[in-house]
A = this chain, B = another copy of it.
Amino acid sequence: MTYELYYWTGIQGRGEYVRLALEAAAAPYRDVAREEGDGVIAAVGKQVATPSFAPPFLKDGTLVVGQVAAILLYLGDKLDLAPKDERLRLWTHQIQLTIADFVLEAHDVHHPIGAGQYYEDQKPESLRRAKEFREERVPKFLGWFETILEKNPEGPAHLVGDRLTYADLSIFQAMSGLTYAFPKLMNRLGPNYGKVNAVCADVAELPNIAAYLASERRIAPNENDLFRHYPELDA
């Protein structure tokens, strides 16, 4: 069965967390809006019994599921990217939800007043929010990821257990975005989080992921995306 991913063209965005899972597992999938245009997202969304509030959503036959964490909860089982053990499966999901919170905060740095207005219309506010993000939130989130790697009874090679899960793929994506958006900050803070960095480096070298990152399917980061490089917000 070919999975169908519905997400905006032109950015990595939240769709990328789903793409990485599909690519890591070499699962057959269509990135439907890239073939048919963004209009297909609303068109298909209207037809289904379980419409998503926003993209991405995934179709697997007659199942339609939205919200990145819920999609990954589903795909984790299907693609063997989550532990079978019920407690570890739940822990993987909890980590994913925390990554999602982190990514949303990274987005809100450049849109503190609301997603409906341009960055250029909320620059002074973004400067203020960026300061708290850099000084308080990034260290708090990255410190937490480092801590749970230290606490993993199976060792720090993976966020959960001793095998790759979608949480590893997602922390790679979040760190990739963070490094793009805040190069100065990450140059300074990054070395404090050696275990997080090691997980991300390992993910980038997975053969399926390395091939994906080198392909045209991987869109370059840009200033329409969740993570944006505005030099004035970095320090």
CB of A101, distance to nearest CB on chain B (Å): 7
Could you list which residues of chain A lie within 8 angstroms of chain B, going by C-beta atoms? 49-53, 63, 65-67, 69-70, 73-74, 87, 90-91, 93-94, 97-98, 101, 104, 108, 112-114, 116-117, 122, 125, 128-129, 132-133, 136-137, 140-141, 144, 147-148, 151, 153
Known: A148-B50, A151-B49, A153-B49. A94 touches B67 (CB 8 A): yes
27 chain-A/chain-B pairs, Cβ below 8 angstroms: A49-B153, A50-B91, A50-B148, A51-B147, A51-B151, A53-B98, A53-B144, A63-B87, A65-B90, A65-B94, A66-B94, A67-B94, A67-B98, A69-B69, A70-B90, A70-B97, A73-B93, A108-B108, A112-B113, A112-B125, A112-B129, A113-B125, A113-B132, A114-B129, A114-B133, A116-B132, A125-B125
Q: Name the residue of chain B whose CB is nearest to the CB of A115.
A: B132
Closest-CB distance, A156 to chain B (whole angstroms): 13
Closest 9 CB pairs of A and B: A114-B132, A67-B97, A70-B94, A112-B112, A53-B98, A67-B94, A113-B128, A116-B132, A53-B144
